[in-house]
Amino acid sequence: MENNKNFVVGIFDDEDILLGAVGNIREKGVKIHEVFSPFPVHGLDEVLGYKRTRLPIAAFMFGLTGTSLALLMQIWMLGYDWPMIIGGKNFASLPPFIPVTFELTVLLSAFGMVITFLIVSDMKPYKYPRQFDLRSTDDKHVMAIDLDNNRLNKDEISRILKDNGASEVNEKNF
Amino acid sequence: MHATSSVREPLITGGKTVGNVSEDISRQVEGKPTQLWWMAFGVSFVFLLYGLYCICFLLWNGVGVWGLNKTVGWAWDITNFVWWVGIGHAGTLISAILLLFRQKWRMSINRAAEAMTIFAVICAATFPLMHMGRLWLGFYWALPLPNAFGSLWANFNSPLLWDVFAISTYFSVSLVFWYLGLIPDFAVIRDRAVRMGHQTRANIYNALSFGWNGGAKTWMRYESVALILAGLSTPLVLSVHTIVSMDFATSIVPGWHTTIFPPYFVAGAIFSGFAMVLTLLIITRKVFKLEDYITIYHLELMNIVIIITGSIVGIAYITEFFIAWYGQVPAEQYAFYNRMQGPYWWAYWSMMTCNVISPQLFWVKKIRTSIVATFVLSIIVNIGMWFERFVIIVTSLHRDYLPSSWSMFHPTMYDIGEYLFTFGFFFCAFLLFAKFFPVINMAEVKSIVKSSSEKKH
């Protein structure tokens, strides 16, 4: 789908220099494609202007589904489908149903959220990611700038990257 | 942004850089296993095979090959089950609860502790399955599935059924949490393999890492998922041992019918779990030369958790006795008198020595910062915690209501063999994990290199 794209790739050694650089570069009107880091850099999503993820909402909805399904299942099975007297208790009473309800809430919430995460991040076992620099999982922060998306040319962007503390600037074509 | 008090001891020693972290931790995945690894694996595998033979014998002949009798209908199987589940608790405590409390020292130890949790829970699950005798029917009996009885559903009022749901949820959620942490680290090994020219290894680890790219957007979502999983795992881990304790506490057997069981079991679980983490990590850091990442300071902090939880367990023992006396129920009073003075006095006093007295030694700084002392005491604690479960289960059962039913429990070689099986499985699995997976969470450790690493002089 995205063929023959040209990128300028800036390499940063330090997360604090990177954070400052992202702000300055965006102020100059350069659009950053993405920044790849070996570890989560706190505050990076804010300076890049990303909206907060809605995954917590997904987790809550999956959890709510778990709670309702578990309660419905237990009340229907022991209360209506095949009622039995156990220890002289009510057929469908809430307190003994709480443990299973809780466990199923957690189970559905956790699995639903993680599967949603894998889908929205487009992560699959058979997929090779597009890599701008192999050192981005080792010890470098890698900033990729899509030339087709920017008005400035290659040399101008390279100069801005260098001025803002990039230790190397490379080109990458896909 | 990077503020760590200078009073705190560094969490990473040896002046490590971010690049050193990838190098030091990926090394053992990329290299060939050492002779020591093969020896340890060989010994564990022999235990596994012997245990497998005992299991086959049990499945062929029935549960009668165990030493159980009409009075003591639950003994080593449930003791071992509770013991292993308890050990599993430390992993989740370290990865989830300490994450919520923002304790950075968890970062070097959470990966191995979570692996231990997963293997320990598998070991635990084998015992109830074996006790079913016909374990291929286990799912059928334990899960609410339509069946030929019409449908007579599973009994949701039973703590044993709660246990099925609690343990299986705990296992699956811990597995997901552990795997999520491994994803970025698999990508590290993949990219190193590409650079070294090992294409096959790169493909395998890419598949394992789900094609991780490390983009800022992915990291943002990833951190959010990790935080919520921690929030979900925290009540989950507390619920698991609570429900395990209800297997006993909701019965009316004197010695089991106690309301303090849930918190007391949870504290005991964390106590024994930390002891097992210490035993494993002291060996792992030595064998894989990770002394700069798992420092004496880490061991000391874990020992402090052991003092706290060990003291809670000690207070719980005393409270049980006080309430037995104060409650004035003769059967209850006899049960506790019998624990101390009856035929199983030796089990009771082993438990008291190992669990109440030995962890108090960690108040001395010299002892809690000594590797040899920590290693020895961590094993003593786990012996004590095994005796705790044995004391609760067997001594409460063996003096039945009618003196004509009084009896003792004697384990057979099949009781022992199946316990050895779980040890064999546990250590085989842990050794395979330590060989093929990064034993320390690289991404998390890298994030604290700048703030918490000892500077080179």
Q: Is residue B453 part of a domain?
A: no
**A26 near A32, Cβ under 8 Å?**
yes
* Separation CA B269–CA B190 (nearest Å): 37
Residue A28 sits in a domain whose CATH number is 3.30.70.120
Give me the residues of chain B with pLDDT under 70, please: 1-7, 455-457
* Separation CA B2–CA B354 (nearest Å): 42
Burial classification of residue B253, based on how many CB atoms lie within 10 Å of its CB (0-12 exposed, 13-18 middle, 19 or more buried): middle
Chain B residues in contact with A41 (beta carbon < 8 A):
216, 219, 447
* For testing contact with chain A, the best of B143, B149, B228, B445 (most A CBs within 10 A): B228
Which chain A residue's Cα is nearest to B153?
A77
Residue B216 sits in a domain whose CATH number is 1.20.1630.10
Number of domains in chain A: 2
* Separation CA A140–CA B18 (nearest Å): 9
Please report where in the chains the tokens 């070097």 appear, as a residue. Answer: B108
- Distance in Å, alpha carbon of B157 to nearest chain A alpha carbon: 5
Q: Is residue B8 part of a domain?
A: no
pLDDT at residue B1, rounded to an integer: 44
Question: In Å, what is the CA distance from B127 to each residue of B39, B131, B161?
Answer: 27, 6, 15
Q: Any CB–CB contact under 8 A between A146 and chain B?
A: no
> What is the edge-to-edge ordering of all strands in the sheet holding A34-36?
A34-36, A141-146, A6-12, A168-173
Residue B166 has its nearest CB partner, among A42, A103, A126, at A103
The full DSSP string for A43-59 is THHHHTTPPPP-HHHHH
Q: Which sign, positive or negative, has the C-alpha torsion B60, B62, B64, B66? A: positive
Chain A residues in contact with B222 (beta carbon < 8 A):
40, 117, 121
The full DSSP string for B39-82 is HHHHHHHHHHHHHHHHHHHHHHH-GGGSS--SS--SSHHHHHHH
The radius of gyration computed from the CA coordinates of chain A, to the nearest angstrom, equals 25
Residue B297 tokens read as 């300071």
Question: In Å, what is the CA distance from B430 to each residue of A33, B90, B115?
Answer: 41, 15, 7
Chain B residues in contact with A108 (beta carbon < 8 A):
none
Q: Is residue A45 part of a domain?
A: no
B134 phi and psi, to 5 degrees? -105, 80
Residue B225 tokens read as 């998922």
The radius of gyration computed from the CA coordinates of chain B, to the nearest angstrom, equals 23
Residue A44 has its nearest CB partner, among B152, B156, B216, at B216
Q: Is residue A78 part of a domain?
A: yes
Please indicate, yes or no, whether residues A72 and A98 belong to a single structural domain of this protein: yes
Q: Is residue A99 part of a domain?
A: yes
Please indicate, yes or no, whether residues A98 and A143 belong to a single structural domain of this protein: no
Strand, coil or helix: B152: coil
* Separation CA B413–CA B404 (nearest Å): 27
pLDDT at residue B21, rounded to an integer: 86
Within a 10 A sphere around the Cβ of A2, how many other Cβ atoms? 8
Q: Is residue B101 part of a domain?
A: yes
Q: Say how many residues make up chain A.
A: 174
Residue B221 has its nearest CB partner, among A121, A124, A138, at A121
Q: Any CB–CB contact under 8 A between A101 and chain B?
A: no
B contact residues 238-257, partner A, Cβ 8 Å cutoff: 239, 243
Which of A7, A5, A53, A22 has its CA nearest to residue A141? A22
Bigger pLDDT: B106 vs A104: A104
- Distance in Å, alpha carbon of B149 to nearest chain A alpha carbon: 11
pLDDT at residue B10, rounded to an integer: 81
**B264 near B316, Cβ under 8 Å?**
yes
Within a 10 A sphere around the Cβ of B394, how many other Cβ atoms? 20
Q: Is residue A91 part of a domain?
A: yes
pLDDT at residue B234, rounded to an integer: 92
Please indicate, yes or no, whether residues A79 and A115 belong to a single structural domain of this protein: yes
ipTM of the complex: 0.92
Residue A110 has its nearest CB partner, among B157, B195, B232, at B232
pLDDT at residue B3, rounded to an integer: 53
Burial classification of residue B135, based on how many CB atoms lie within 10 Å of its CB (0-12 exposed, 13-18 middle, 19 or more buried): middle
pLDDT at residue B6, rounded to an integer: 61
- Distance in Å, alpha carbon of B450 to nearest chain A alpha carbon: 9
A contact residues 17-36, partner B, Cβ 8 Å cutoff: 34-36
Which of B227, B247, B2, B41 has its CA nearest to residue B124? B247
Q: Any CB–CB contact under 8 A between B188 and chain A?
A: yes
Q: Any CB–CB contact under 8 A between A75 and chain B?
A: no
* Separation CA B168–CA B142 (nearest Å): 11
Please report where in the chains the tokens 């099986």 appear, as a residue. Answer: B421
In sequence order, what are the beta bridge partners of A141?
A12
Q: Any CB–CB contact under 8 A between B312 and chain A?
A: no
pLDDT at residue B456, rounded to an integer: 54
Question: pTM for this one?
Answer: 0.92
Number of domains in chain B: 1
As a whole number of angstroms, the longest Cα–Cα distance in chain B is 76
Render pLDDT for B64-113 as a digit per residue (tens, 0 to 9).
Answer: 999 998 899 889 999 999 999 999 988 888 888 888 888 888 888 899 99
pLDDT at residue B5, rounded to an integer: 58
**B120 near B87, Cβ under 8 Å?**
yes
* Separation CA B47–CA B416 (nearest Å): 11
Q: Does A99 sit within 8 Å of B162, measured CB to CB? A: yes
| Domain carrying residue A102 | 55-120
Q: Does B243 sit within 8 Å of A39, measured CB to CB? A: no
Q: Any CB–CB contact under 8 A between A97 and chain B?
A: yes
Chain A residues in contact with B217 (beta carbon < 8 A):
34, 45, 50, 121
Q: Any CB–CB contact under 8 A between B176 and chain A?
A: yes
pLDDT at residue B228, rounded to an integer: 93
As a whole number of angstroms, the longest Cα–Cα distance in chain A is 82
Helix axes A98-120, B216-249, angle to 10 degrees: 160
Q: Any CB–CB contact under 8 A between B144 and chain A?
A: yes
Whether the per-residue pLDDT at A121 is higher than 70: the answer is yes
* DSSP 8-state code for residue A30: P
**DSSP H stretches of helix in B294-359:** 296-327, 330-341, 345-352
Residue A113 one-letter amino acid: M
**B235 near B266, Cβ under 8 Å?**
no
Chain B residues in contact with A136 (beta carbon < 8 A):
191, 214
Q: Is residue B416 part of a domain?
A: yes
Q: Is residue A73 part of a domain?
A: yes
Q: Is residue A49 part of a domain?
A: no
Helix axes B159-196, B199-208, angle to 10 degrees: 150
Chain A residues in contact with B188 (beta carbon < 8 A):
38, 137-138
Q: Does A113 sit within 8 Å of B228, measured CB to CB? A: yes
Please indicate, yes or no, whether residues A74 and A24 belong to a single structural domain of this protein: no
Q: Any CB–CB contact under 8 A between A51 and chain B?
A: no
**A94 near A75, Cβ under 8 Å?**
no
**B84 near B123, Cβ under 8 Å?**
yes
Residue B430 one-letter amino acid: F
Please indicate, yes or no, whether residues A78 and A116 belong to a single structural domain of this protein: yes
Q: Is residue B432 part of a domain?
A: yes
Q: Is residue B5 part of a domain?
A: no
**DSSP H stretches of helix in B353-412:** 365-368, 371-390, 396-398
Residue A156 one-letter amino acid: E
Q: Any CB–CB contact under 8 A between A44 and chain B?
A: yes
Q: Any CB–CB contact under 8 A between B225 and chain A?
A: yes
pLDDT at residue B7, rounded to an integer: 65
Q: Is residue B269 part of a domain?
A: yes
Q: Is residue A66 part of a domain?
A: yes
Residue A109 has its nearest CB partner, among B156, B207, B232, at B232
What does the pLDDT average to over A133-146? 88
Render pLDDT for A4-13 as a digit per residue (tens, 0 to 9).
Answer: 678 888 898 8
Q: Does A78 sit within 8 Å of B207, measured CB to CB? A: no
| Domain carrying residue B291 | 20-144+156-447
Q: Is residue B28 part of a domain?
A: yes
Cα angle: B47, vertex B48, B54; to 5 degrees: 90
